[in-house]
Amino acid sequence: AGPSSLSRFRGALVGALLGDCVGAEFEGTEEVPLDRVLQHLDGLEEENRGDGILQYSDDTAMTRCVVQSLLSRSEFDVSDLGRRFAEEYRRAPLRGYGAGVVQVFKKLLSPRCADVLQPAREQFGGRGSFGNGGAMRAAPIALAYPQTQDVIEFSRRCALLTHASSLGYNGAVLQALAVHFALQGALCSGGQYLELLIGEMESLEREEKALSDARELNEADFPYCTRLRKVKEMLERSDVSVEEVVMELGNGIAALHSVPTAIFCALHCLSVRPSLPPHYSGFQRTLAFSLALGGDTDTIATMAGAIAGAHYGMEQVPASWQRCCEGEQDAEEWGERLHKLYQSR
């Protein structure tokens, strides 16, 4: 028997928080030597830690808004969520938001804003954002809805508040589905887990807007399915270097260059990795490997952390690591409350 359902729910939110808090150290650094990653993680152990706690960034600030909106409304409520994003930005504008998305918050704060989805549509000359900001906050949707179709619908609408490009919102749907299927214990099937994801993404990427957005950005048709097949192929190799992952899947701020990467991290670290400490749990391996990729480390680690946390549960999250993070108690308590909400449906 795997971890209990409650342990997986808590693990998903705590895993997301940890990925963001430990990943923030390296965000934007292209080459992160594994030594530095392991040293940073060692610093989280009780005996090595000063008084400092690791602050969360925009990834968690927005995830917290999604959780709080779901818990207070018991349903997905796009206007309530838009208001929370904008108010959170006004309260704490320096959490490291993407350069474009702050325009959305400013418009949402204006009393003249009648349609909450309009500011997102106006981003980047009307093309909408393809950043990973929709995906980084998608996990709570998977913790609130047991049905796959609901997860798809509400993760898309949750992303549409800031990310109107299909490359942006489909990345969010993929991340929510990755957590959704991991909660059900499907991650350990590796190839079959990827087939589940590909099956769902195929129908989304067949939509007219997905096809035209991909062409406009010079991407092949079915960009997410293409990358997920690449993930599958890479998992079948005996080992894969950090350089190969970065080159073939990416480590950037585009959802297309980070969501499949996070999924790869979780799958790749299901088995022991010779370069990582042998006493590490699968959860710890996943975070360490994500950070070593460099680039958008906080966001890739928050997504991989949510998937791994949903798979392994709290048993594999070191208490010492958890205690280093700002807001760790909220994450655990909210995981439990979302679990109740999920089970009530």
Interface with Mg ion (CB under 5 A): 57-59, 96, 296, 298-299
CB nearer to Mg ion: pick between 57 and 166: 57
The alpha-helical segments, DSSP class H, found in 74-219 are 78-91, 101-109, 118-121, 139-144, 148-160, 166-183, 191-205, 208-216
Choosing from 3, 11, 15, 131, the residue that interacts with ligand 8NA (CB under 6 A) is: 131
In residues, how long is the chain?
Answer: 345
CB nearer to ligand 8NA: pick between 63 and 129: 129
CB nearer to Mg ion: pick between 7 and 286: 286
Count, residues near ligand 8NA per rule CB under 6 A:
23
CA–CA separation, 340 and 205 (whole Å):
33
Q: Does 155 bind ligand 8NA (CB under 6 A)?
A: no
Choosing from 2, 100, 190, 318, the residue that interacts with ligand 8NA (CB under 6 A) is: 100
Q: Greatest CA span in the chain, whole angstroms?
A: 57
CB nearer to ligand 8NA: pick between 196 and 303: 303
CB nearer to ligand 8NA: pick between 59 and 88: 59
Residue 199: φ, ψ to 5°? -60, -45
Helix axes 297-312, 166-183, angle to 10 degrees: 30
User: Is residue 302 packed enough to be buried (19+ CB in 10 Å), middle (13-18) or exposed (0-12)?
Assistant: buried
CB 50 within 8 A of CB 42: no
Element (H, E) at 266: helix 259-268
| x/- track of binding to ligand 8NA for residues 17-46 (CB under 6 A) | ----------xx------------------
Helix axes 328-343, 5-23, angle to 10 degrees: 140
Q: Which stretch binds ligand 8NA (CB under 6 A): 81-89, 98-106, 284-292, 323-331?
A: 98-106
Binding partner at 101 among Mg ion, ligand 8NA, none, C-beta below 5 to 8 Å by kind = ligand 8NA
CB 296 within 8 A of CB 251: yes
| x/- track of binding to ligand 8NA for residues 265-304 (CB under 6 A) | -------------------------------x-xx-----
Helix axes 282-292, 297-312, angle to 10 degrees: 170
Least Å distance between CB 97 and ligand 8NA?
6
Binding partner at 165 among ligand 8NA, Mg ion, none, C-beta below 5 to 8 Å by kind = ligand 8NA
CB 228 within 8 A of CB 198: yes
CA–CA separation, 308 and 313 (whole Å):
8
CA–CA separation, 242 and 191 (whole Å):
21
Q: Which stretch binds ligand 8NA (CB under 6 A): 56-64, 109-117, 229-237, 286-294?
A: 56-64
CB proximity list for 152: less than 8 A, separation 6 or greater: 173, 176, 177, 200, 204
Least Å distance between CB 104 and ligand 8NA?
8
Q: Which stretch binds ligand 8NA (CB under 6 A): 90-98, 148-156, 206-214, 270-278?
A: 90-98
CB nearer to ligand 8NA: pick between 28 and 33: 28
Q: Does 213 bind ligand 8NA (CB under 6 A)?
A: no
CA–CA separation, 60 and 140 (whole Å):
11
Q: Which stretch binds ligand 8NA (CB under 6 A): 75-83, 111-119, 130-138, 201-209?
A: 130-138
Residues contributing to the site for ligand 8NA (CB under 6 A): 27-28, 57-59, 96-101, 124, 127, 129-133, 165, 253, 296, 298-299
